[in-house]
């Protein structure tokens, strides 16, 4: 399959990065701005911080600016979120509702290692820097 | 005018060296969690829900088990991921789209969306191919990047 689709790998990666970043940012906007369908700003300082990381980090990942750093921080945040909120409920991620956190955690770790790729501000800046 | 961008910002050569490992890790974790959706459907584990009886959910369960395992191990991962990606797209539009809201956050389809796009990427890249293996070997020269 990769023999035929291989040349689209950068595009598929960019799509994945943008979609995941935007959905991640929406968790932040849900916490901070009650959109879409939030329960209002949380009183908990930690939750507010989580919302800021999700909103800002998710947008940075989506547009591809400081991608590696943003993704690394987001990945760490998801690891903390998993162990603070989900791990105690049940062992398997499927049952403790933490599957999404695990998936985001490893996905953002991969994005941190991979970098922004095409369709990103980082790539634009690199081109300009090289010119 | 040349602008110097700190290499850490854009995936430095140092972090790129770990990229194949991060990719393999992501594939293994996501693949195995995907398998567990299948086992939950087919045999009721993990969880307390009874095994599925209708053909659609049984076939979805088998796709999840077989493709998830292949992706996690990295054998025929491209093909398996392509099929799994399509399955997730179908699952999203059949089960989640419009159920409770437009946004994936509201219709509980976020996981399906994430899997669909992740498997699409895995389909373009496959498992640990020879090309990737060459990247794994640490390069002496970390100052240049292609």
Q: Is residue B120 one of the residues assigned to a domain?
A: yes
Q: Is residue B35 one of the residues assigned to a domain?
A: yes
Tokens of A97: 């509702």
Counted domains in chain B: 1
DSSP one-letter code for B93 = I
Instruction: Kindly report whether the peptide bond that precedes residue B46 is cis, defined as omega within 30 degrees of 0.
Output: yes
Q: Is residue B146 one of the residues assigned to a domain?
A: no
Q: What is the pLDDT of residues B88-108, one digit of tens each?
A: 999 999 888 878 788 888 888
Are the C-beta atoms of A78 and A105 separated by less than 8 Å? yes
- Which residue segment(s) compose the domain that B122 sits in? 16-135
* Residue A34 to residue B105: CA distance in whole angstroms: 12
* Residue B34 to residue B16: CA distance in whole angstroms: 27
The model's confidence at residue B5, banded by pLDDT at 50, 70 and 90, is very low
Say yes or no for a CB contact (<8 Å) between B125 and A112: no
Are the C-beta atoms of A94 and B47 separated by less than 8 Å? yes
- pLDDT at B2 (0 to 100): 38
Q: Is residue B144 one of the residues assigned to a domain?
A: no
Q: What is the pLDDT of residues B102-138, one digit of tens each?
A: 888 888 889 999 999 999 999 999 887 545 445 455 5
| Long-range contacts from A52-57, C-beta under 8 angstroms, 24+ separation | A52/A28, A53/A28, A53/A77, A54/A24, A54/A25, A54/A27, A54/A28, A55/A25, A55/A28, A55/A29, A55/A31, A56/A28, A57/A24, A57/A25, A57/A28
Name every chain A residue with its beta carbon within 8 A of the beta carbon of B33.
93-94, 99, 102-103
Bin A115: left if φ > 0, else alpha if -120 < ψ < 50, else beta: left
Name every chain B residue with its beta carbon within 8 A of the beta carbon of A58.
none
Q: What is the ipTM of this complex?
A: 0.92
- CA-only gyration radius of chain A, Å: 16
Name every chain A residue with its beta carbon within 8 A of the beta carbon of B111.
99-100, 103
* Residue B65 to residue B33: CA distance in whole angstroms: 10
- pLDDT at B12 (0 to 100): 61
Q: Is residue B4 one of the residues assigned to a domain?
A: no
Q: Is residue B142 one of the residues assigned to a domain?
A: no
- pLDDT at A39 (0 to 100): 75
Stated pTM of the model: 0.87
Name every chain B residue with its beta carbon within 8 A of the beta carbon of A130.
2
Taking the CA of residue B43 and the nearest CA in chain A, the distance in Å comes to 14
Q: What is the pLDDT along chain A (131 residues), one digit of tens a residue?
A: 777 888 899 999 999 999 999 999 999 999 998 888 777 788 888 999 999 999 999 999 999 999 999 999 999 999 999 999 999 888 999 888 899 999 999 999 999 999 999 999 999 988 887 76
Q: Is residue B56 one of the residues assigned to a domain?
A: yes
* Residue B138 to residue B32: CA distance in whole angstroms: 28
Neighbouring residues of B141: CB distance < 8 A, sequence distance ≥ 6: none
Q: What is the pLDDT of residues B9-63, one digit of tens each?
A: 455 666 778 888 999 999 999 999 999 999 999 998 888 888 888 999 999 999 9
Say yes or no for a CB contact (<8 Å) between A129 and B33: no
Taking the CA of residue A45 and the nearest CA in chain B, the distance in Å comes to 23
Name every chain B residue with its beta carbon within 8 A of the beta carbon of A8.
124
Tokens of B126: 């496959």
Are the C-beta atoms of B29 and B68 separated by less than 8 Å? no
Taking the CA of residue B48 and the nearest CA in chain A, the distance in Å comes to 10
* Residue A88 to residue B93: CA distance in whole angstroms: 32
- pLDDT at B145 (0 to 100): 47
Are the C-beta atoms of B46 and B36 separated by less than 8 Å? yes
Residue with tokens 């693949």: B31
Mutation pick from A106, A118, A124 vs chain B, by most beta carbons of B within 10 Å, is A106
Centroid of chain to Cα B87:
13
Q: Is residue B20 one of the residues assigned to a domain?
A: yes
Taking the CA of residue B55 and the nearest CA in chain A, the distance in Å comes to 22
Nearest CA in chain B to A109: B22
Say yes or no for a CB contact (<8 Å) between A106 and B30: yes
Residue with tokens 């689209």: A8
Name every chain A residue with its beta carbon within 8 A of the beta carbon of B125.
2, 6, 9, 12
Say yes or no for a CB contact (<8 Å) between B15 and A16: no
Pick B11's closest partner by Cβ from A8, A68, A102.
A68
Nearest CA in chain B to A7: B124
C-alpha to C-alpha distances, A62 to A20, A26, A67, A85, B39, nearest whole angstrom: 7, 11, 8, 25, 33
């Amino acid at each position: 399959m990769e023999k035929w689709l291989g040349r689209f790998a950068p595009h598929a990666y960019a799509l994945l990065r943008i979609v995941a970043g935007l959905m991640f940012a929406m968790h932040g906007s849900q916490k901070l701005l009650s959109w879409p369908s939030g329960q209002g700003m949380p009183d908990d300082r930690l939750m507010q911080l989580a919302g800021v990381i999700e909103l800002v980090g998710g947008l940075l990942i989506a547009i591809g600016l400081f991608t590696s750093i943003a993704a690394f921080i987001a990945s760490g945040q998801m690891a903390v979120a998993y162990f603070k909120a989900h791990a105690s409920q049940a062992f398997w991620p499927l049952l403790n509702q933490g599957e999404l956190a695990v998936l985001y955690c490893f996905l953002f770790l991969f994005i941190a290692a991979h970098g922004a790729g095409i369709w990103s501000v980082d790539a634009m800046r690199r081109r300009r820097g090289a010119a | 005018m040349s602008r110097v961008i700190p290499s850490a910002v854009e995936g430095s050569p140092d972090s790129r060296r770990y990229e194949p490992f991060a990719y393999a890790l992501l594939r293994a974790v996501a693949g195995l969690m995907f398998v567990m959706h299948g086992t939950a459907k087919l045999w009721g584990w993990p969880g307390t829900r009874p095994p599925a009886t209708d053909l659609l959910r049984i076939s979805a369960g088998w796709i999840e088990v077989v493709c998830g395992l292949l992706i996690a191990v990295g054998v025929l991962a491209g093909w398996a991921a392509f099929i799994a990606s399509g399955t997730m797209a179908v699952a999203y539009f059949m089960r989640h789209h419009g159920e409770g809201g437009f946004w994936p956050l509201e219709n509980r389809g976020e996981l399906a969306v994430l899997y669909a796009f992740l498997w699409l990427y895995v389909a373009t890249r496959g498992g640990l191919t020879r090309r990737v293996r060459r990247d794994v070997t640490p390069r002496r020269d970390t100052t240049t990047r292609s």
